Structure 1
């Protein structure tokens, strides 16, 4: 699907407010409601819009700590990597997981109540995943920018 400027306007508006009513969205992007809704549905069908979510303030729900964990596996074979990925998908504390090129094998963003809770998670869950060789944790001092909006 080739996107045009109206599609990009729709995407920018929905990134800003995923709950916007179709009539309001149509006004913003310069379409009547029916064609606007058709375009949104097409963007959803093509998986350009993958999902709609609520962005929850982590600290207001008791998750005051975010850490970045660099993980090294015992091997790069498909079985080891696939096992690790499957295990990560079952751990809700891990909110991002990236397969890396470079020094470590995976980079994880993990949320926890506090440092003690993270340490418990690391010892009881993360390092017990078969194939995990080592974990190094980086603790950010301050979040400067956190967004899910893409620069489109």
Structure 2
């Protein structure tokens, strides 16, 4: 899909204010409401816009522990990747999971109510998953930056704009 400057303006506006009305968005990007809605739908259909959501404050909800966990798997266990991938889908504490390069196989972002809850998750779920060899936890002491927004201006040159 070839994106133009107007598409990038729409994407930037929606990232900043996902609840903006179509009329307000159209005014902001200098389009008619029908043309703006058509472009937004096209961006949604193409998968450029994946979803709309509210960003919640974990601390306000009582989730005090934020941890990044490296998990290394035993390679001699049959279907270790499939089994681990399936298991982590049920763990509500895991808010992000990634296959990574380096010594570990996975990087998990885990949110827990407190250290006791986090410890229970690690000892009773993570360590008991077949194939897990090693776990290395990094507890977040302070968050300096945490965003889901992508600077769409980074891609404007790539798209030929």
Bucket of the pairwise TM-score, normalised by the shorter protein: over 0.9
2:101 and 2:116 map into 1 onto residues whose CA distance is: 30
User: Any unmatched runs of 5+ in structure 1?
Assistant: none
1:95 aligns with 2:105: no
Which moved further from structure 2: 126-135 or 107-116?
126-135
Instruction: Provide the TM-score with structure 1 as the length reference.
Output: 0.96
**How many aligned residue pairs are there?**
152
Spell out the pairing of 1:58-77 with structure 2 (5 A cutoff): 58-75=58-75
Determine the structure 2 residue equivalent to 1:141. 141
Determine the structure 2 residue equivalent to 1:3. 3
Runs of 4 or more off by more than 2 Å in structure 1? none
How far the C-alpha of 1:76 sits from its partner, in A, is 8.0
Determine the structure 2 residue equivalent to 1:115. 115
Q: Once superposed, what is the RMSD of the aligned Cα atoms?
A: 1.3
Determine the structure 1 residue equivalent to 2:128. 128
Instruction: Provide the TM-score with structure 2 as the length reference.
Output: 0.91
How far the C-alpha of 1:77 sits from its partner, in A, is 7.7
Say which structure is richer in helix.
Answer: 1
Determine the structure 2 residue equivalent to 1:82. 82
For the structure 1 residues 21 and 134, does the alpha-carbon distance in structure 2 shift closer, same or farther, using more than 3 Å as the test? same
Q: Does structure 1 retain, via aligned residues, the 8 Å contact 2:77–2:131? A: no
Render the CA deviation track for 1:93-133: whole Å, top value 9, x for unaligned. Answer: 00000101111110000000111110011111111111111
Determine the structure 2 residue equivalent to 1:104. 104
Higher relative contact order (CA 8 A, sep 6+): 2
Q: Find the residue that maps to 1:136 and give its secondary structure.
A: strand
